Structure 1
Amino acid sequence: MTPAIDLLKKAHIKHTIHEYQHEASALAYGIEAATKLNLDAKLVFKTLVAKLDSGKLVVAIIPVEEKLNMKALAKVAGVKKAAMASAEEVERSTGYVLGGVSPLGQKRPLLTYIDTSAEQLDQLYVSGGKRGLDIELTPSALLKLTRALFAPLIV
């Protein structure tokens, strides 16, 4: 299927795959996933790639209805500034297209931060590696597979 799903299967992590018909006109991919899968948007997380002032790329996983706080991300990453990476940088480093970027199975695994709002959830949903595909798993499984850290990341 996708590198994300291959990773979950290889690691024997319990997960559920959810597919939906992606609309080419959709601009907010995560909101589209929540709507099409009839889910509370607080359970659906988007995978964002940011570039630090050191030049390194990092991943931030936040709820789809929220905005990434760049100052908070820079602080937890130990730098002064962070900005969104370009589409080209994202696709080159992750191997995924925008709107289908999964935190799992990336071509070059990046340092990853998950917003603290995920900590108290039983399950959450992240992109499965292509538009129209989401994966349901536990926050602890996501943390383990991405070697991430929980941090306050939203505005």
Structure 2
Amino acid sequence: MTPAIRTLQQLNIQYETLEYPVKHDGDYGANAAQALGLNPAQVFKTLLVSVDLQSAPIAVALVPVTEQLNLKQFAKTLQVKKLQLAAPHLAQKSTGYLVGGISPIGQKKKLATYLDQSAKQFETIYVSGGQRGLQLCLAPRHLIQACQAQWLG
């Protein structure tokens, strides 16, 4: 049981788990959508951002696997000059999860979390369950609750 699942159970949030075989080509979210036959617009990747490659992550953005995070716009949201994706080893250290399996739920260090507005159009969305090859299906409002997230955009 991952910290993400444990957190959802503690909060009495309904969810479903889906497992799939992992491809190790770096595009974990798109691979999850394809392997599970899901609409890629409903599958959200967990991105951690920092002000530079040596700095610890400062926030989490959840965007569809079909999209790229607009770092300039997200920097404005966070009221910082510049952002970049966090270095993988720092993302892993901050969350307690391996890259490719970073869940927005149950992270070791609590960071400001933002969910892309596009999630509102779906009854359920999919996010990493905290390990490679594991997705969680839940309502966007439940993800907001579990992560104490805000809407992005």
TM range (shorter): over 0.9
Q: Which runs of 5+ in 1 are unaligned?
A: none
1:50 equivalenced with 2:49 (yes/no): yes
For 1:81 and 1:91, the matched residues in 2 are separated by 21
Higher mean C-alpha displacement, 76-85 vs 37-46: 76-85
Contact 2:59 / 2:111 at 8 angstroms: preserved in 1? yes
Query: Secondary structure at the residue paired with 2:60?
Result: strand
With normalisation by structure 2, the TM-score equals 0.94
Q: Deviations over 1:24-63 (max 9, x none)?
A: 3x32000000001100100000000000379651000000
- Alignment partner of 1:90 is 2:91: yes
Q: Where does residue 103 of structure 1 map in the other structure? A: 104
Q: TM-score, normalised by structure 1?
A: 0.93
Aligned length: 151
Shift >3 Å, 4+ stretches: 52-56
The residue aligned with 1:28 is 27
* Structure 2 residue matching 1:13: 3-state secondary structure: coil
Task: Quote how far apart the aligned CAs of 1:101 are.
Answer: 0.3
Query: 1:60 matched to which residue of 2?
Result: 61
Residue type at the aligned position of 2:38: L
* Aligned counterpart, 1:13: 13
Aligned-CA RMSD value: 1.4
Q: Distance in 2 between matches of 1:88 and 1:55?
A: 10
Identity %: 44
Give secondary structure in 2 for the equivalent of 1:119: helix
Aligned match of 1:141: 142
**Structure 1 residues 55 and 105: CA distance shift in structure 2, 3 A:** closer
Shift of residue 88 of structure 1? 1.2
